[in-house]
Each structure stands twice: as C-alpha cells, then as structure tokens.
C-alpha cells in the first residue's frame, strides 16, 4: 500500500498541535468588560479578556460566506453584509461547532472535539489588551496543522505568546479540510472554479485581515503568514500559489512543512470516480456530462455522509495495490501550475522574506517504529512510480544498522533511526531545504533552522526532539514549563516575533542569543540555526540555552539535494 498521500496525511492529521490579541480597537467595552469591535459591513463583535488581562481575543469571527449548498466545492465567497447587532464571539464555541469537517481520523481531539461542520470559515484573533486602532502593530496569520485533514484554529492558542510579547497581533483561520478542501475535479474546472480550496480559504482569510485588522490595532501592510506541519505545507504552497505572483502578505514562516504528492487534476478522475461510487454518485467524470452530474450529486450529499465514506475509502486501494492519492492540493494549472518543489526549483516563489526549518526527528512520534523491512518502506512510501534502481539507491544512502554507528559515517544504530531519517527527509526536510534555497537564490532574506529541543513531558526521550516540539515551545503556556524548557521557549519566541515584526529574527532577539546567519545556496554549504536546550555537560553554563549555528552535514546536504532533484520529484510528484 502506498503511504505518501493518504496514509501519511492521516499520520500528520492524527496530531493536533497546541498553544496574539485585539484590544478594544474602538476603545469600547461591554458592561462586563469585554472588548467590542465594529467592523462595519463585516459585523460587530464582542470578544473576551485572556492571559491575566494582557490579551483581548475574538473567537470564531466569520471571514467568508458558509461554503454550503451550491457553494460546496467552490472558491470562497465574500461574507454577506452583517447587521449592527453585536455578535458574541467571546468563547471558542458559542453554542455550536465551528471546526471544519474532519477527515483522516475517527478520533477527534482538541478543543470541543467533533466531526465538524461546513459552516466553518471563521478566524480567531489575539491582540495586546492595550492595542487600539492606529497602532499599526505587525500581524501574523497562522494556518493550523493536522495533515490538511483535521484539527482547528483554537487548538493553537496564541494568548500566552501575544500576552508576553505585547508587540504584535495573531490571527488563526480555519480552512476546508480533506475531501471538502481538495475534491479537485475536472467538473469544477469546467464550471470555471479553481482547485485547492483549502489554500484559497487561507488566502481569502489574509484578504479579510488586510481589510479589517487596522480596527484591532494591526498594520495591514505588515502581515506574516505562518503554519506548521500540514499548516507548514499550506504556507509552502502559498509561496508558489499563482507562481508566486501578487502575494497578499509580506513574509512567510513555513515550519515542519508537510510535503505531498501533487497530482494533475485530470489524473485524479479514477480516484474521484471510485469514491463517488461509494456514495451512489454513479456517473463517471471521464466525460463532461458525467463529470457535471457527479459533481451535482456530490453537492447534494450530507457532509457527514461524505466524511464517513472518506474513512472507509482510506481503507481501499487502487487496482495496482497502492493507496489512492490523498485529499491534498493538486496541480490545477491555475492556483498551482506544477508540483511545489519544481516551482521552487524554477524560482517561482513569492518575493518575501522566509524563515523555515524542521524538528530533528519529525517522525519519532508520528511513527515510533517504521517498517523494519526497509525495502518495503521505500516501496510503499514512494508509490507506483518507484523503480528497483531507486530502491537500491535508497538502501545504499540509508544503510542498514551497524554497531558503532555515527553521523560522520552516515550510518544508523537501529532500524528505527534508519526509517526515521528516510521518512523525515522525504516528508519534511526536503521541503524546507527547497524553500530556503529558492528564497536565497531569488535574493530574498532566508533563515533556516533545526529545532532540537525535545518535548520531554509528553514523549519518550528515545524520540529526541520530535514533530511539534517547536510548536509546544512557541505556543504553550510557559507556566507549564520547567526552567530549561522556558529558556528555549523565550529564545525561540523572540526569534519568531522579531521576524514577524522586522522580517529578521535578529533585530529583536534576546541579548544572550547568537546571531542567526542566513541560508547559503552554495554547494554543500548551508548554515542553519540549531535550537536546543542547555546541556548539563556544557562548558558554558552561563548561556541559558545550547543554541548556535551549524552547517548542514555533507551527507545530509547531498540527500536533501537528491530529494529535491528533478529525477526524484518526477517520481514522487512533490
């Protein structure tokens, strides 16, 4: 069975990743002290106070028309004009579910977990309590993780970071997930609709922020977009959306970027036909008439019918034995004109500063014990285009475990280490490398990192620093951390917030933190920041952390160059 699209997406989606603030922009408070903001035709909203009075927040503010009925499988549309009645958005869930329909899992996790709803295009806003209209604070718009299949915005609460920093506003926007965000059919194109609705939702949310954030004290001309895991993959895609032309943001922070196989829409017709038959939409999309009937039938179904069928569909396979392509962004010829890595290699990247990177062992917690049969792991991961020669090459450059393994000799101590490295570089590391390289080659500020501070309170030390450890240090309450973890959190937050504010992580970094040097596209010379805890055995205990610059090891550089080469992206469709 093939892993990279549906099964890997489900692995990413199985994690929801936990823990910025609009003041009373018009200096208006309700009788209970809650901040009220008047956005004119976009509505009037009552928020709440968080983080010991340091943050004002608004939760589940609508930013687009509900994508229901005839709007299912269509690009986001403008919100109808709202009346002047104050809408209470002071709680994450004001009496109804706000998560988008959840795919890729039957275990719903996070805040008020549920199967979700289609009326979900909402955003959450955190601003310093003292912010007011005209302050022109920098803004970050976040895209949540979950493999582009599940999770939701309130699972990433930025109140702690915004409250501590006090110098920027954070926004987190829901977007359509799974099949509803990536049906990507020829019928939609025949209607004149683009594909990749999840990405267009994200772009539309930034448009809303541009129009309204000044009322919260934000600067509409100083917007960073940020995401992690599936959200990192979305931000990666935003950088090459429309071939990087006319971005509606000023900087980007794609982290732990979920790479994915981007099929051409016309190549997805067999998948769509197979799914449609499961829900009794029997017309084939192989003809224009059949495609139109299939799409109409899909629009007529309850969302829950689609969601449950998608769970069953994920257990089926193509006639060749591999999994069907997943519900992920595709090459539609308009929003994405080619596979993302190829677009980066062609220099079709938005002309904005970039900060990107990965956690040391992304797959430690995503897949604690990869398939011990390495040949089978390579075959199932790469999919039907894999060749015997490529499998042999992977077995050579990711050699079998030996005693006395070492990084210097490019060897591995266990099958887990071997499998993790292979999966990390295929699924995450190659993407960040390609982004950092493309940005620097385009003459843009480009900052690259490896996050090596583990989340030891949750995962075994054996995993090391694993997927979402950077998110935990960035967003979770520092009151829950020990002194060593806090030191990393404060340093990491300072770098990120400095980039949000100044497009440079060094401008407002902590005085104790080293200078973050930019990426260099020179052959086998790639500087990156290594973020890690202070070690008990360190010779410099005066430093609060062990963070410093490193060069990507030559063996790793060569493997990442291979993963982002034309030879390989033809095979992987990344």
How far out from the chain centre does Cα 365 lie? 17
Total domains, the chain: 3
Domain match, 465 and 523 both? yes
Q: What is the pLDDT of residues 62-81, one digit of tens each?
A: 999 999 999 999 999 999 99
Domain match, 21 and 155 both? yes
CB 159 within 8 A of CB 50: yes
Residue 321 lies in a domain: no
DSSP 355-399: EEEEETBTHHHHSSS--S-HHHHHHHHH-TT--HHHHHHHHHHSP
Calculate mean pLDDT across residues 321-339: 96
Place of tokens 């000799």: 409
Residue 343 lies in a domain: no
Q: What is the domain extent for residue 199? A: 16-219+227-233
Residue 242 lies in a domain: no
pLDDT at position 94, please? Answer: 59
Q: What is the rounded distance in angstroms from the CA atom of residue 200 to the CA atom of residue 440?
A: 26
H/E element, 162: helix 159-165
Domain match, 41 and 177 both? yes
Residue 300 lies in a domain: yes
Calculate mean pLDDT across residues 466-477: 94
Q: What is the rounded distance in angstroms from the CA atom of residue 499 to the CA atom of residue 501?
A: 5
Chain mean pLDDT for the chain: 92
Domain match, 158 and 281 both? no
Q: Token pair of 126, please?
A: 């955190």
Band of residue 460 on the pLDDT scale cut at 50, 70, 90: confident
- Parallel/antiparallel/unpaired status of strands 527-531 and 446-451: parallel
DSSP 254-312: EEEE------BGGGGHHHHHHHHHHTT----TTSHHHHHHHHHHHHHS-HHHHHHHHHH
Percent with pLDDT over 90 in the chain: 86
pTM: 0.94
Residue 6 lies in a domain: no
Domain match, 278 and 382 both? no
Torsional class of 469: left (φ above 0), alpha (ψ -120 to 50), beta (otherwise) = alpha
Calculate mean pLDDT across residues 280-295: 97
Band of residue 230 on the pLDDT scale cut at 50, 70, 90: very high
Domain match, 307 and 211 both? no
Q: What is the pLDDT of residues 335-375, one digit of tens each?
A: 999 999 999 999 999 999 999 999 999 999 999 999 889 99
Residue 259 lies in a domain: no
Domain match, 308 and 365 both? no
Q: Cα angle at 489 between 251 and 90, to 5 degrees?
A: 70
Residue 238 lies in a domain: no
pLDDT at position 343, please? Answer: 98
The phi, psi pair for 42, rounded to 5°, reads -85, -5
pLDDT at position 106, please? Answer: 66
**Residue whose C-alpha is closest to residue 436's, from 506, 505, 344, 351:** 344
Residue 88 lies in a domain: yes
Q: What is the rounded distance in angstroms from the CA atom of residue 502 to the CA atom of residue 19?
A: 23
Domain match, 275 and 402 both? no
Q: What is the pLDDT of residues 482-518, one digit of tens each?
A: 999 999 999 999 999 999 999 999 999 999 999 999 9
Domain match, 494 and 365 both? yes
Non-local (6+) Cβ contacts of 111 within 8 A are: 92, 93, 152, 154, 155
Which residues form the catalytic set?
229
Domain match, 146 and 291 both? no
Domain match, 87 and 187 both? yes
Band of residue 16 on the pLDDT scale cut at 50, 70, 90: very low
Work out whether the CA dihedral 16, 18, 23, 29 comes out positive or negative: positive
pLDDT at position 17, please? Answer: 34
- Where a domain ends, among 313, 343, 374? 313
Answer with the residue of higher pLDDT: 520 or 13.
520
Domain match, 105 and 188 both? yes
Residue 72 maps to which CATH number?
3.40.50.1820
């Amino acid at each position: 069975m093939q892993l990279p699209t549906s099964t890997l997406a489900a692995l990413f989606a199985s994690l929801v990743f936990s823990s910025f603030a609009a003041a009373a922009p018009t200096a208006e408070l309700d009788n209970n002290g809650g901040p009220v903001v008047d956005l004119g035709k976009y509505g009037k909203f009552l928020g709440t106070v968080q983080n010991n009075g340091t943050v004002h927040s608004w939760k589940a503010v609508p930013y687009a028309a509900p994508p229901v009925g005839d709007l299912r499988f269509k690009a986001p549309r403008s919100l109808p004009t709202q009346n002047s009645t104050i809408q209470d958005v002071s709680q994450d869930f004001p009496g109804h579910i706000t998560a988008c329909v959840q795919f890729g899992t039957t275990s719903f996790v996070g805040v008020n977990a549920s199967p979700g709803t289609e009326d979900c295009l909402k955003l959450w806003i955190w601003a310093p309590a003292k912010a007011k209209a005209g302050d022109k604070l920098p803004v970050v718009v976040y895209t949540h993780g979950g493999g582009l299949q599940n999770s939701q915005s309130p699972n990433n609460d930025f109140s702690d970071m915004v409250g501590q920093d006090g110098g920027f506003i954070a926004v987190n926007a829901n977007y359509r997930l799974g099949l509803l965000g990536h049906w990507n059919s020829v019928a939609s194109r025949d209607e004149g609709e683009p594909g990749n609705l999840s990405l267009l939702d994200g772009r539309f949310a930034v448009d809303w922020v541009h129009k309204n954030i000044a009322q919260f004290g934000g600067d509409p001309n100083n917007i960073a977009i940020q995401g992690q895991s599936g959200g990192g993959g979305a931000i990666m895609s935003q950088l090459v959306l429309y071939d990087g032309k006319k971005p509606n943001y000023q900087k980007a922070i794609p982290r732990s970027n979920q790479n994915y196989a981007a099929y051409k829409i016309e190549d997805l017709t067999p998948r769509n036909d197979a799914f449609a038959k499961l829900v009794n939409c029997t017309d084939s999309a192989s003809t224009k008439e059949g495609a139109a009937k299939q799409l109409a039938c899909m629009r007529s179904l309850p969302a829950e019918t689609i969601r449950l069928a998608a769970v069953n569909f994920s257990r089926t396979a193509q006639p060749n034995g591999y999994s069907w392509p997943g519900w992920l962004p595709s090459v539609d010829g308009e929003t994405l004109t080619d596979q993302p890595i190829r677009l980066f290699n062609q220099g079709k990247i938005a002309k904005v500063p970039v900060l990107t990177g990965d956690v040391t062992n992304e797959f430690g917690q995503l897949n604690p014990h990869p398939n011990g049969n390495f040949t089978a792991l390579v075959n199932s991961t790469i999919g039907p285009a894999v060749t015997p020669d490529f499998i042999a090459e992977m077995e050579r450059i990711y050699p079998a475990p030996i005693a006395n393994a070492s990084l210097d000799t490019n060897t591995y101590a266990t099958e887990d280490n071997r499998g993790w490295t292979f999966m990390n570089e295929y699924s995450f590391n190659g993407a960040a490398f390609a982004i950092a390289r493309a940005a620097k080659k385009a003459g843009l500020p480009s900052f690259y990192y490896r996050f090596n501070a583990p989340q030891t309170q949750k995962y075994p030390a054996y995993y090391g620093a694993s997927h979402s450890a950077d998110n935990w240090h960035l967003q979770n309450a520092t009151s829950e951390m020990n002194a060593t973890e806090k030191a990393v959190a404060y340093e990491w937050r300072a770098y990120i917030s400095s980039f949000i504010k100044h497009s440079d992580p060094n401008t407002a970094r902590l005085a104790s933190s080293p200078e973050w040097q930019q990426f260099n596209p020179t052959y086998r010379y790639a500087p990156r920041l290594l973020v890690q805890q202070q070690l008990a055995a360190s010779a410099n205990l005066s430093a609060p952390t062990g963070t410093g610059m490193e060069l990507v090891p030559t063996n790793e550089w060569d493997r990442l160059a291979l993963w982002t080469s034309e030879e390989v992206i033809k095979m992987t469709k990344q």
